[in-house]
Every structure is written in C-alpha cells, then in structure tokens.
Structure 1
Amino acid sequence: MVRIFSNKGVSSMKHIQGAFRHLNVWALLSLLLILLIFIPNVLIAINLFTDPTENWEHIRQYLLKDYIYNTLLLVIFTALTTMLIGTSLAWLIVNYQFPLRNFFKWGFILPLAIPPYIGAYVYHGMLNYTGFIQVTLRDSFHIEVNQQYFNIMTIPGAIFIFTLFLYPYVYVITKGFLEKQSASLFENARLLGGGPLLTFFRVVLPLSRSTIVGGVVLVVLEVLNDYGVVSYFGIQTFSTAIFRTWYGMKDLDSALKLAGILMVIVIAVLMLERLVRGKKRYSYSTANIRQIQPQPLRGYKKWLVFGYSLFIFSIAFIIPILQLVSWATMTYRKVISDEFMTLIYNSIIVAGIASTIIIIVSLIVGNYTRLHKGIIPGLSSRVITLGYSIPGAAIAIAIITLFIMIDGCLESFSAMFNLDTAIVLRTTLVMLISAYIIRFMAVGYNAVEGGFEKIGSSFTEASRVLGMSSVKTFFKVDIPMLRGALLGGFILVFVDILKELPLTLFLQPFNFSTLATQAYRFASDEMVHEAALASILIVTISAISIYVFHKVLDRDGS
C-alpha cells in the first residue's frame, strides 16, 4: 500500500513539474491575460447564488417569463429561417449554373455588412405610414392600406430582420463544406431516382448537418447578443431587461442575475449544438475525389433559381442600401459637421486601439499554445475565445462590476497615501476597450492561430538551433511570416467593433459617441433620415472588408 501511494505521488509530482517546466515569459503573460479575460465571467456566475433583492423578486415573478418566452421565440424561428435560406442558397450556388451565379456567389455574403439594427430602422422607415411604400401606394395608385399589415415592429418583424442580415453565416459555412464534397455522392443519388428536392433533403441536409448547425449557432449567438433591433422594436428580451435594470433602476445585482441567466441559455445552446451534431463522421473511401461541377439549368428552372436568388439579395442588401443612399442625399448637408467628424474619429480610435491590443494578446497566447502542449496551453486556447459566445449585455454588466471593484481599490489606495485626486476608471474609455477585448478576442485569436498553423514550427525551431532567443525568433522570424494573418485578423476585429452597439451603449463615457450609437439614437428619436450617413459609412467599410476576404479566400482555395 505504501508503494502504491508512493508511485501515485511520484506520478503526480511529475505532472506538476511538467506543467511548471513550461512557465516561461510566454506562459506567464498568457496566463495573466487569460485571467483578466476570465474574471468578469466568474463574477456573473458567482452573483447567481447571492441573495435576491426586492427588484429581482419583482422581475422573477412578473417579467422573467416574458423575457425567456420572447428570447426563445426569436432564437428558434430565426434559426429555422436562416437554416432554410442559407442552406438552399449554398446548394444552388455549388450545384447549378444560372445567370449571375458568379456575382451571387460572393454577393450573398454582403448582407453581413449591414448590422441588424440598421436593417431594422431602414425597413421600418420604408414600411410605416410616411414611408416610401405606403406613400407610393397612396399617391400613385390611390390605395389605402391597413396599418397592421405594414407594422414590422413585432416579433415576426424582428425574425424577418434577423433572417435577412444573419443568413450569410449559414450560407458561407455550408457553401465551403459542399464545395469540398465528392460529386459522386450526388450523382449516385440522381442515378437511384432521386430528383433535385429529394437529393437535397435526403443527401445534402444529413451530410451537412454538423456544418449547418455550426452556422446556425453563430446566428443564435448574434440574436442573443442583439440589443438594437429588440430595443427599437420594443420587444422585451434579456438584453433590453439588463439595460433597463441597470440604467433605469440602478440595480446592479438584478442586472447581474439577468446576465447570469442569459449565460446559462448560451451554455445550453452550445451543449445542444454538441448533441445535435452527434458523433457521426464522414470520410472518403477513395483518394480520387472529384469536386462538384455546377450543372447548367435550362428553361423555367434557370429563371426560377435566378429569381429566388435575386429576390433574397434584393431584400437583404440592394433595397436597404438604396434607401440609405436616398435618405443620405436628403440630409448630408445637415448631418456633416464637426460633431460628425468627431464621431468618425471616435469610432476609428476605439476600434483601432482595441483591435491592436487583441492582435497583440492573440500573438502572445497563440505563440505559447503553439510551442507548448499540455492541459494548460490547451485550456488557454479555449478560455480566451469564450467571450464571443457571451452576449454583449452580459459582458457589459460583468465589466461594470469589475471596474466598480477596481475603482474601490484605487480609492482606498488614494486615501492611504493622501492623494488629492482619486483615479476613477469606470468613467473612461478603459472600461469600453476592455469589454471590446473580451467580446472580440476570439475573432482575432482564430485568425492568428490559423496563421501559426500555416507556418508551422520548423522555422522557429531552426532559428532556436542557430542560437537566436525565443523573443528574437518571435519578432524576426514568426511575425514577418504572420503578416497576412495579422492584417486579416485586425480588419475583422476592426469591422466588428465598428458595428458593435450593445457594449458601446452600455459602457461609453459621458459625451462620447460612435457612428453606431449615433445612428441608433437618431433612429430611436424618429430621425431615420439623419441616421443614414453614419449607417452608410459602417456598411461601406464592412462591405469592402467582406469583398476583400472573399477574394483572399478564393485565392487561397485555388
């Protein structure tokens, strides 16, 4: 018995020594940065078990059921509609030739450039009583319509908005998967008597299940994160409840409990994803893989597919853009001012600073996880990407809680040394930029990690063998080879931050606004025309980035 215990003790000591053997400068920096990212999430989890306040009892008894019901409605039906549209468009693009196919191939991605909250106020502005559609019906055709048929500010209206501007998540991922499949799978299905629809439902959907679910989960996370659409439409969800509880009631404890429940929903969604994906795996039985060659469509089928594609692209991108341009031409003289230039400056500065920090942190942690294997490096790569799955409202409340604690410590420090001025961080941009870093770290890290996987470790090892230190190797060998990944990750993060609304609304300092918050405020004040110019700038930058990445993706894939 003594020997057994001793052997186990020796084995445990070896594991501990193995873990500490890798605690170099990269490991210490990585663990410190990961700890800073992880702490706010822990604060939310802890607060779930604290004693409830009177406000929380009222919320739990009278309001919580509505928050859960509305949130689940939005999530479930948006998931279904985006799955149908995204998967069908991906299948048509991969499998058939029809007019403008090459344009639609990348054009279907462009709706991602329009944040859902911009799409929401554009469609409301078009469909309301003074909007273009009803004015045209009244003035040109003398048709008076029932207003209830044009009221988009409902839960079905929000689902419509989310579907239009989030389906590209499913489309992009599914299209990439189908393009790599063997053509023989679908040809055999046709030879066995399966028509196009039967092949789609009996072969394409089961084969692409894991991929489709991955895209749908991204859509669900975006819906849970949204504040702009549901707030503008007056729909009670967790995001609007957290905002109202904190700003309206000044009740941080209740806001933290709502954020905790929202995080539980997110965890349930991620677990459901694992369950739905299952353990099925597909592999080729031969090395001769022939990719799918698009088949030309003829007759009415060609124009039917073209019409469907044009309809989706028009309502998801062309119509909103034309309406924004029309409004912008009416109001640009009124909107362009020194204040508007300040908005542009603010947006670029905060997005630039946060994106730079994210890329630097991603480089440090990515280099550590690449060079070291084991539990700690593997755990580090998972923890650092958690923020993207946590809705912005929950992150905002966690950051507020953390910075209140930090400011309390700083006030005690100032009092201890009799300093005249106390340092208050929660009224500065530090809090907002910290939230951006937590929320979008996964975007930058995934880009950097992909770059590290491409360059491998052979060049790094050769440099070390030739006597160069790990730090010099990092700056003189690794970073030059990662320039493409670093630039790509920076642009992706920059665009995401530029469009971000919930975090900015929650955490922006006094008298500080960005293009996103200004567009939302104009729309909320029924000044949708004035919101157009800021929206066009956001959409243009996002669309250019999407186009560039599409071209880079095509070039890398060829």
Structure 2
Amino acid sequence: MPPPLSTDTPAEMQELASSVRHVEAASWRQRVRARGTAWLWQWAAVVPALIVLVPMFGIVAALGAGDAGTRAVLAHMLGTVLPEYLLNSLRITAVVAAGVSVLGVGTAWLVAHCAFPGRRLFEWALILPLAVPAYVTAYAYTDFLQFSGPVQSALRAASGVDRLPWFPEIRSWYGAALVFIGAFYPYVYLLVRTAFIERGRRLFDAARTLGCSPWQAFARVALPMARPAWVAGVALVLMETLADYGAVAYFGVPTFTTGIYRAWLSMGDRVAAAQLAAMLMLAVLLLLVFEARSRSRLRYYGAGARRGGLETRVTLRGARAAAAVAACVVPLLLGFLIPTAIMARLALQELDQVPWERYGGWVWNTVRLAGAAALVAAFAAVLLGYAQRQAPGRLGRIAARLVSVGYAIPGAVIALGILGPVLGLDTWLGDIFGARGLVFSGTAGVVVYAYLVRFLPAALQSVEAGLARIPPSLDASARSLGVGGWAMLRRIHLPLLRGSVLTAALLVFVDVMKELPATLALRPFNMDTLAVVASHLAADERLGEAAIPALTLVAVGLVPVLVLARAIARGR
C-alpha cells in the first residue's frame, strides 16, 4: 500500500523546518560553548604550570649568557675544585642508594611478610625519621661522635690514650652518607612495603609450594615485582640527597650544590652559578627520565588479597625473631631516636642561653611563611587538579608532569632561577616608573613563590588522590541538575576534598618549615626562620642553642608523620 500523503500545509512545514534549524543551532552553540569551556579549563591547568616553570626557564636561559668573567670562573672551578665536588656527590649518592635499598627493602619485607614481636609497632614507627631534617641529624651526630663528644671522650678515658686515630671522622663524605641513609630510607620503605602487600602475595606462596626456599621466593618473585616501587623510592632519595645543602655544608663536605653557592656568593658570579645549577637540574631530569622509563617497561598484574596483609606470614622465633627486631630497631635508632635524644640533651643543657625574646619572632616568621605557602599551594593544587578533571587531555597531563619536576629541583637551583626573572622585573618596573630599587627582590613574596615551585607537587599529589576517590557519576548527576563549573567545585568537590586539601596544606607547611637552601638565598633581611637560625647557630658551633629551634622543627614534622602512621595502622 502506498504511504499516505502528507497533510501538512506549507506554513506548518516551514515552522517544522525552522524548529529543526533552531535545535541544530542550539546544539552547535552548546558544542562551541563546551569546547570553549574545555579550553578555559585546560588553560587553568597550564597557567600554574607556566608560573612554576619560570625558574627552570631562567636557569636554562643562563646557559647562553655570561661574559669572559663567567667563563674564567667556570674554568677556574673546573681546573681546581669542581672535580672534587662532583666526586663527592657521586660517591655520596652511590652509598646512599645502596644503604636505603638495604634498610628500606629489608624492613619492608620483614613487616609485610614476617610475624615477630613488635611488628605492628615497627610498621608505623619506621617512618618517624621523616620528621627529622637531615641537617638536624647532622648536628646531633657531630656533637655525639666528634673528638670532644661523649663517645670519643669515653673511649679515650677507657683506653688511657689521647687520640683515637682509628675512629672514623663524622665530618666526612661517608658521615654525610650515613646521615642521609638514616633520614631518607623511609621513602623506600613506604613504597616497597606497599608493593609487597599489594603485589605477588599469592605468587610468593605459590613459589613456596613449588619448592622455593623463603630466600629464593623473595629473590625470584617478590623483589622483582616490587622493583618499580624500589626504583621510584631510590630515585626520590637521590633527588633529596642532591638537593641537600645544610648537612653537607655543616660537615664541610663540598658537593655540587655547595659549589653552586660558592660560585654565587664567594666568587660573586650569579651567571656561573646558574650554569652550574643547569647542569645539576639536567642530572636530576635524567634521573627522573630513567625512573619513569624503568617503571614504564614493567607491568605486573596480581590478584588481590584479603585486607590485612599477606595470606600467610612466616612466624619468626628465637634468634630469628631477635634478628628481625634488631633489623628494625637499627634504622629507627639511626634516623630518629638517637638524633632526637641528643638534641633534647643539648637543649636541656643550654635552656638559659636561648634568646627567648627573639625566639617568638623566629617562630612567627617560620609560621607565616609556611602558612602562606601552604595556602597558595593548596589553592593551586585544587585549581590544577579540578581543571584536569573537568577537561582531561594531553595538555593537562603535560602540565601536571611539568609541575611535578619542581619537587626534584634543589632549593638552591630554584633560588637562582627565580632571581634572574625577578631582578629583570624590578629593572623593567624601575624604567617605567623612573625609580630604582628592589620591588619584588628580597621580599617574603619571592620566598613563598620559591616554596610554591618546590612543594606544589606534594600538594597536587594529595588533591589528585582525593579527586580520584570521587566517582564521575557524581559530576554527571550534578550537571543534570544544572550545577557545573565553579559551582560544582564549591558545592560538591570542595566539601568532599576537605581532608585531602588539609593534608596537602599540612604537608607543604611542614616541608616549608624544614626548607633551608631557598630560604637562606631569598629571605628578606632580618627575617630569620627556625631553620636558618638553627643553621647559623650550628655553623658557629653553638649546638646547644641550635637544639631548641631544631627540636621545634622535629616536633612540627611529627604531625604529618603521625597522620601517615595512623593511616598505615588503619590499612593493616
């Protein structure tokens, strides 16, 4: 049967066509608006990254700058001291990498796989050294092990000799390596412990049923599956080691970082220092690339296990249990208990020597700088993380990766990278307004900016983890109700992200309080922080007076560490 003839009038057909065109136009406008909104969110992710990358651009730009004086300074350093600086850095990092691997992997395996007295206590106590800055540990061990310290004094009194030529010198490159091992091994411990718990649990048991001994199953199955976490932890430790200035400067061990300071402050050539900083930044970036490539080539997929750890634990008794306890006690003593006890003893002996009338000012300077940096970093992390969620794409991922590089750059390098653009901005403003002087240089704002460049990645990681726990269906439901963009962030995401944002701010606050190189280089005149005061007093051999600000830093650093310990206890 033929289809019925249409009874629509020409006017009705025109109205229908107009309606169709109207719907198509509205759909086109909606697509254009969505694309425009996506671009806006992508630029919201790119802008913080560009701001953070300005110091890196300043360092790279210094490679093409300089004059004959700069070349003379670099040639002089290359012919005299630079090889020694490089050698010290290489051997310290080699020993530190081996030491944190042994302590971190060994303790992680014991608490994840074995049952022995005190295991649950060591599970979270082994991260306590994260609360003690490396330079504070250096102060403590110097007082304890130097010629006039209690250890050598007691040995000389017991042996009846005036000197102990066989006693190792703590102020040496291997002394610095020992301090870094005790301070940084928790990075490897945390990552590898998680890998042991989450990967290869049943595979390890399967290897045991196939006749492998515990050591063979560990070496052939568990350790290879934890290799990505192991490599990532060691890379993080090496970046922290290369970034350190306080410990090596106090020990008098010239490293590449101290060479940057000497070219800058002793020889008065900021461009030469920036070029040395560019070399160090390149080494750090190569380390990051190596770590990323080593993980990208490894893919491990394992079946999940019951909450609470491994299906089976090896119960240790007798001498083996005592050895396991000793293996966990040694790094805890090395990195936390001994340094804290030594500094507490010194503080009690010198309480009357501390200028308490100035102590409040030091605390206030530290708290306001750390508080400002924490607020700015938390805001930038929320903006960057939420922008990636609203407009996921390659541009946002690249921006996040570039921002993460800042954590790997030493504070001295960041300070040099900031000074060039800031001084140029001051000169430009002076030419415009006909005034000479420092508008931005030497202000607290520049110091906070350096902290943002250095520690924004830590805040971003916490915020991204919080955003990952919010299901995308919640965003879709909000959009269906007419809530999107900033309103969705304000009304939905921020209430759900409260814990993650507070954690991010807390992490940045504590890291800023302990930061020394960038603060030393950029702080305004007469704005000393606890870290700067402790460094100056220790350099003047007034360790008793330095103990009070150092212990204050340790006490504040314990806050996020205890929060992390509580999370570990909950996740057993």
TM over 0.5: yes
Two-structure CA RMSD over aligned residues (Å):
2.2
Unaligned runs of 5+ in 1: 1-16
Structure 1 Cα separation of the partners of residues 462 and 174 of structure 2:
35
Conservation of the 8 A alpha-carbon contact between 1:182 and 1:291: no
What do the CA deviations read for 1:66-121 (whole angstroms, capped 9, x no partner)? 22222111112211110111000000111111121111111110011111111111
What do the CA deviations read for 1:12-66 (whole angstroms, capped 9, x no partner)? xxxxx99963456544443332221112211211222335522122223333322
* Map of 1:545 onto structure 2: 560
* Map of 1:357 onto structure 2: 376
* Map of 2:14 onto structure 1: none
Conservation of the 8 A alpha-carbon contact between 1:263 and 1:390: yes
CA positional deviation for 1:143: 5.7
CA positional deviation for 1:313: 1.6
* Map of 1:226 onto structure 2: 244
Structure 2 Cα separation of the partners of residues 155 and 525 of structure 1:
21
| Aligned pairs (5 A) from 1:94-105 | 94-105=112-123
Give the TM-score taking structure 1 as reference length: 0.91
Once the two structures are overlaid, the 10-residue window that deviates more, 264-273 or 514-523, is 264-273
Conservation of the 8 A alpha-carbon contact between 1:120 and 1:158: yes
* Identity percentage of aligned residues: 31
Query: In the alignment, does 2:442 pair up with 1:402?
Result: no
| Aligned residue-pair number | 537
| Aligned pairs (5 A) from 1:232-311 | 232-277=250-295, 279-284=297-302, 291-311=310-330
Query: In the alignment, does 2:532 pair up with 1:513?
Result: no
Cα 1:399–1:19 shift into 2, 3 Å: farther
Once the two structures are overlaid, the 10-residue window that deviates more, 192-201 or 159-168, is 192-201
Cα 1:451–1:287 shift into 2, 3 Å: closer
| Aligned amino acid, residue 218 of structure 2 | F
| Aligned amino acid, residue 402 of structure 1 | P
Structure 2 Cα separation of the partners of residues 423 and 121 of structure 1:
35
* Map of 2:64 onto structure 1: 49
Structure 2 Cα separation of the partners of residues 494 and 183 of structure 1:
37
Q: Secondary structure at the match of 1:149?
A: coil
| Aligned amino acid, residue 41 of structure 1 | M
Query: In the alignment, does 2:216 pair up with 1:198?
Result: yes
Query: In the alignment, does 2:228 pair up with 1:213?
Result: no
Corresponding residue to 1:436 among 451, 457, 460: 451
Once the two structures are overlaid, the 10-residue window that deviates more, 304-313 or 245-254, is 304-313
Query: In the alignment, does 2:348 pair up with 1:329?
Result: yes
Unaligned runs of 5+ in 2: 1-31
CA positional deviation for 1:268: 1.8
Cα 1:292–1:155 shift into 2, 3 Å: farther
Cα 1:235–1:363 shift into 2, 3 Å: same
Conservation of the 8 A alpha-carbon contact between 2:125 and 2:565: no
| Aligned amino acid, residue 62 of structure 2 | N
Corresponding residue to 2:464 among 439, 446, 449: 449
Q: Secondary structure at the match of 1:99?
A: coil
Give the TM-score taking structure 2 as reference length: 0.89
CA positional deviation for 1:148: 5.4
* Map of 1:132 onto structure 2: 150
* Map of 1:12 onto structure 2: none
Structure 2 Cα separation of the partners of residues 255 and 299 of structure 1:
57
What do the CA deviations read for 1:195-230 (whole angstroms, capped 9, x no partner)? 333333232221211110000000000001000111
Conservation of the 8 A alpha-carbon contact between 1:429 and 1:509: yes
Conservation of the 8 A alpha-carbon contact between 1:94 and 1:292: no
Structure 2 Cα separation of the partners of residues 19 and 63 of structure 1:
59
Conservation of the 8 A alpha-carbon contact between 1:181 and 1:291: no
Corresponding residue to 1:497 among 512, 522, 525: 512
Structure 2 Cα separation of the partners of residues 18 and 56 of structure 1:
55
Query: In the alignment, does 2:504 pair up with 1:485?
Result: no
Conservation of the 8 A alpha-carbon contact between 2:49 and 2:402: yes
| Aligned amino acid, residue 421 of structure 2 | L
Q: Secondary structure at the match of 1:48?
A: helix
Query: In the alignment, does 2:98 pair up with 1:83?
Result: no
Cα 1:472–1:516 shift into 2, 3 Å: same
